[in-house]
């Protein structure tokens, strides 16, 4: 761990204040034709912080953000931290029942909304104070608090039981992560950062704070069309830094929008949340040989990304010796271990750090299961998160292989479902996803036409053992995706049942 970086870590609110003082008139947010300066964003945050203090006497208030991506939402995040509280952002376009469930689980002291409370009040008592940020507010934060909750925010992710699970992110840990990440992105004040993800996803929170703590200009992409295929927005809004899951890049590839014409404003593209594929990376560098691409790995539970692979058109081929692109080396403060494999070069990815999540919201049993001390001979025990992801090292490069729950056994034979998907893509399909139902494999491929299953099977038989050949290969115009852009495995399983 790099001690000088740790000692130099500054609280994220103080880092934001530094940008306000240095660039008060610089645009912090541009949305729907309206520019919000750093000075104005700071004022909005102070007003929201003041409103929170007026409606609750709780010293570390829990604040639910039921807001669309906008200057008001970003100010709500910052204002909650100014007031010493913990914020929980939700995807306002998500299912109402899920949002009500999150609200009930988080049990907020205050709810911030924008004229349309909708389902967010369903999970909260009628006595919970509610602040409509669309109405003018004149009172500001009385004074900056020096006491604050160590939990900066709680983000709810999908749970295997169907109930969302809240992940607690520490304020000190997140401030440290931002300090580390700044060195990679090296953002220039005024550079335009595309805020792609919905606010209920941790990637969106990374976007917001990486930008406003470096003097960047946030460009929220509000419409679903822009979020799914953002190439036109990148071009027209002159976005220089763009961070998303690789699935969105795949949609751009298929729409023939990965070209210099669309991507000319970009300086950096950063990917996480899913495996980046070699053909996607090749398409990017054919269009923009001068582009810088970051392939990162991390989970919500490990606070941001924990590995990074800095790729250029000159070095990327050495990171493509697997069906997925290598995820890079550990970033300072996090250590990656592979445990439980047949050799030291494969196993479950275990992340050790002082900067992991503080655990799951009001779920000590699950926290104890996932966060444990990693015991290594001759090495001090370290708090670690067992990710459930399988990693492989090849030629000193670390690759994400698959989720361990995508590593299945049929009649004693181990099968990696991601390997089947890789060879289906090789057969000519832009996207493929294989699931196990009972003892049978079902593969889904994106195609608007019927598929020639015999031709595809002949292709697979030459590359896979017999027990890895799917029982059925079903075409879909598009694979179902959840609000974060990832493939919705549950929807595919339900279609088979």
The predicted pLDDT at position 227 comes to 72
Whole-number Å distance between alpha carbons of 95 and 104? 14
Which structure tokens are listed for 10? 């500054």
Contact (Cβ atoms closer than 8 angstroms) between residue 413 and residue 467: yes
Collect all residues with Cβ–Cβ distance below 8 Å to 294 and sequence separation of at least 6: 184, 268, 269, 270, 271, 308, 309, 310, 311
119 has pLDDT over 70: no
Going from the N-terminus, what domains does the chain have, and what CATH number goes with each? 12-178 (3.40.50.980), 223-409 (3.40.50.12780), 411-496 (3.30.300.30)
Whole-number Å distance between alpha carbons of 149 and 165? 20
- Number of neighbouring beta carbons within 10 Å of residue 351: 27
Contact (Cβ atoms closer than 8 angstroms) between residue 74 and residue 16: no
SS3 3: helix
**pLDDT tens digits for range 431-476:** 899 998 888 899 999 988 888 999 999 999 888 878 889 999 999 9
**pLDDT tens digits for range 36-52:** 999 999 999 999 999 99
Contact (Cβ atoms closer than 8 angstroms) between residue 160 and residue 405: no
161 has pLDDT over 50: no
Collect all residues with Cβ–Cβ distance below 8 Å to 406 and sequence separation of at least 6: 416, 417, 418
Greater confidence (228 vs 404) lies with 404
Q: What is the rounded average pLDDT for all residues in the chain?
A: 89
Conformational region of residue 340, where left means phi above 0, alpha means psi within -120 to 50, and beta covers everything else = left
Paired strand residues for 297: 307
177 has pLDDT over 80: yes
Collect all residues with Cβ–Cβ distance below 8 Å to 339 and sequence separation of at least 6: 347, 348, 350, 374, 386
What's the whole-model pTM score? 0.84
The predicted pLDDT at position 145 comes to 59
Collect all residues with Cβ–Cβ distance below 8 Å to 76 and sequence separation of at least 6: 45, 48, 63, 65, 67, 87, 112, 133
Local confidence band at 138 (pLDDT 50, 70, 90 cut-offs):
low
Local confidence band at 266 (pLDDT 50, 70, 90 cut-offs):
very high
**pLDDT tens digits for range 354-388:** 999 999 999 999 999 999 998 766 566 889 999 99
Given the structure tokens 């490990």, which residue do they identify?
A: 302
Using alpha carbons, list the distances in angstroms from residue 306 to 105, 299, 386, 395.
Answer: 28, 8, 13, 20
Lowest mean pLDDT among 289-293, 359-363, 376-380, 394-398: 376-380
Whole-number Å distance between alpha carbons of 77 and 218? 14
421 has pLDDT over 60: yes
Whole-number Å distance between alpha carbons of 88 and 207? 16
**Closest to 194 (Cα-Cα) out of 172, 178, 216, 215:** 216
404 has pLDDT over 70: yes
**Closest to 204 (Cα-Cα) out of 292, 74, 105, 86:** 74
Mean pLDDT of 58-83: 95
Greater confidence (401 vs 21) lies with 21
- The burial class, CB within 10 Å (0-12 / 13-18 / 19+), for 396 is exposed
Lowest mean pLDDT among 90-94, 311-315, 330-334, 452-456: 90-94
Angle at Cα 51 formed by Cα 50 and Cα 54, nearest 5°?
90
**pLDDT tens digits for range 3-21:** 444 556 789 999 999 999 9
Highest mean pLDDT (candidates 227-231, 273-277, 471-475): 471-475
The predicted pLDDT at position 160 comes to 44
Q: Using alpha carbons only, how large is the chain's radius of gyration in Å?
A: 23
Given the structure tokens 């990486």, which residue do they identify?
A: 210
The predicted pLDDT at position 143 comes to 58
411 has pLDDT over 70: no
What's the N-to-C CA distance of the chain in angstroms?
Answer: 49
- Number of neighbouring beta carbons within 10 Å of residue 184: 17
Mean pLDDT of 239-246: 93
The predicted pLDDT at position 3 comes to 43
DSSP structural state of residue 310: E
Contact (Cβ atoms closer than 8 angstroms) between residue 90 and residue 97: no
Angle at Cα 36 formed by Cα 33 and Cα 37, nearest 5°?
140
Mean pLDDT of 397-420: 80
Contact (Cβ atoms closer than 8 angstroms) between residue 90 and residue 65: yes
Which structure tokens are listed for 56? 């609750």
346 has pLDDT over 80: yes
Paired strand residues for 101: none
The predicted pLDDT at position 408 comes to 78
206 has pLDDT over 60: yes
């Amino acid at each position: 761990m790099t001690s000088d970086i740790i000692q130099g870590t500054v609280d994220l609110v103080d880092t934001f204040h530094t940008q306000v003082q240095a660039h008060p008139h610089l645009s912090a947010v541009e949305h729907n034709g309206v520019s919000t300066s750093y000075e104005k964003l700071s004022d909005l945050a102070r007003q929201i912080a003041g409103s929170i203090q007026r409606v609750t006497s709780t010293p570390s208030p829990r604040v639910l953000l039921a807001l669309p991506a906008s200057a008001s939402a970003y100010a709500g995040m910052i204002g909650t931290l100014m007031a010493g509280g913990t914020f929980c952002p939700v995807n306002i376009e998500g299912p109402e029942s899920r949002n009500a469930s999150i609200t009930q689980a988080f049990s907020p002291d205050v709810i911030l909304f924008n004229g349309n409370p909708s389902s967010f009040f369903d999970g909260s008592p009628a006595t919970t104070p509610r602040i409509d940020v669309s109405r003018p507010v004149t009172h500001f934060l009385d004074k900056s608090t020096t006491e604050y909750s160590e939990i900066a925010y709680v983000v709810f992710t999908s749970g295997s039981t169907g109930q969302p699970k809240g992940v607690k992110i520490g304020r000190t840990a997140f401030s440290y992560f931002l300090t580390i990440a700044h060195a990679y992105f090296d953002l220039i004040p005024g550079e335009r950062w595309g805020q792609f993800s919905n606010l209920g996803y941790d990637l969106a929170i990374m976007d917001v704070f990486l930008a406003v703590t470096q003097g960047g200009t946030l460009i929220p992409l509000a419409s679903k069309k822009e979020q799914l295929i953002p190439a036109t927005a990148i071009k027209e809004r002159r976005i220089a830094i763009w961070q998303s899951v690789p699935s969105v890049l795949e949609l751009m590839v298929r729409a023939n929008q990965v070209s210099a014409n669309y991507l000319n404003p970009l300086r950096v593209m950063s990917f996480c949340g899913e495996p980046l594929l070699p053909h996607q990376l090749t398409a990017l560098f054919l269009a923009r040989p001068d582009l810088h691409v970051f392939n990162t790995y991390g989970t919500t539970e490990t606070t941001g990304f924990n590995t990074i692979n800095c790729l250029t058109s000159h070095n990327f081929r050495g990171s493509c010796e697997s069906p997925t692109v290598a995820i890079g080396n550990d970033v300072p403060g996090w250590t990656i271990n592979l445990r439980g494999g047949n050799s030291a070069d494969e196993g479950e990815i275990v992340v050790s750090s002082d900067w992991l999540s503080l655990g799951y919201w009001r779920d000590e049993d699950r926290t104890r299961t996932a966060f444990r001390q990693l015991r290594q001979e001759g090495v001090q025990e370290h708090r670690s998160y067992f990710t459930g992801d399988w990693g492989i090292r090849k030629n000193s490069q670390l690759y994400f292989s698959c989720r361990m729950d995508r590593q299945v056994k049929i009649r004693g034979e181990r099968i990696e479902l991601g390997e089947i998907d890789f060879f289906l893509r090789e057969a000519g399909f832009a996207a493929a996803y294989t699931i196990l139902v009972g003892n049978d494999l079902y593969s889904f491929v994106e195609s608007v036409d019927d598929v020639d299953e015999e031709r595809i099977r002949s292709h697979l038989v030459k590359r896979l053992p017999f027990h890895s050949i799917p029982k059925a290969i079903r075409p879909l115009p598009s694979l179902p995706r959840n609000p974060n852009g990832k493939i919705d495995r549950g929807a595919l399983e339900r279609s088979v049942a």
